Amino acid sequence: MPDVGRNHSREFKLAAIARMEAGENVCALARELGVKRKLLYEWRDRLRRYGEAGLRGRGRPKRGVAPLQGCLARVAAAAPVPSAADDDLAAAKRRIAELERKIGQQELDLDFFRQALQRVGAKRPTSGGSGGTTSTKSSKP
């Protein structure tokens, strides 16, 4: 049975995740290591999301600059600084998208009016009569 509340070292967690990623059966691995299967998946997810720093033990992290530097390095690598050229390119792309939407709306309007004109033309009488049909028969003989 899994040992509840037991703290595992970072190396232990990394080894377990490596075996898991290598394709070992997760249920059998959890049984062999004496941990819950869910815990293995949590370790793997934390490793993917936060790197090795995510596999630290319980409690407060140790004081120092190293954990902050690692975090700052990940943030800096993930978010490149936009340049003026990138801003101009983004503005141009937004403008193009806006104009394409406007053109599409105008095409829809033209199609609507074309169809409306065809319907009106189809209903228009072709003869030169009075313009309307009578609703009742004439009483005149």
Per-residue model confidence as pLDDT tens digits over 18-49: 999 898 899 999 999 999 999 999 989 988 88
If we measure between CA atoms, which residue out of 25, 53, 3, 1 comes closest to residue 16? 25
Name the residue ranges covered by the structural domains of the chain: 1-57, 82-123
Under CATH, which architecture does the 1-57 domain have?
A: Orthogonal Bundle (1.10)
Q: What is the pLDDT of residues 115-131, one digit of tens each?
A: 999 888 887 766 655 65
pLDDT band at 1 (very low <50, low <70, confident <90, very high): very low
The structure's pTM equals 0.41
Q: Which two tokens stand for residue 74?
A: 């990940």
Compute the distance between CA of residue 56 and CA of residue 88 in angstroms, rounded to an integer. 43
Is residue 54 within 8 Å of residue 81, measured between CB atoms? no
Higher pLDDT, 6 or 112: 112
- Please check the confidence at residue 135 and state whether its pLDDT lies above 90: no
| For the chain, percent of residues with pLDDT exceeding 90 | 35
The most confident of 37-51, 96-110, 126-140, by mean pLDDT: 96-110
DSSP 135: S
Farthest CA pair distance, the chain: 113
Q: What is the DSSP string of 14-52?
A: HHHHHHHHTT--HHHHHHHHTS-HHHHHHHHHHHHHHGG
Is residue 16 within 8 Å of residue 37, measured between CB atoms? no
Burial class (CB in 10 A: 0-12, 13-18, 19+), 16: buried
Is residue 44 within 8 Å of residue 20, measured between CB atoms? yes
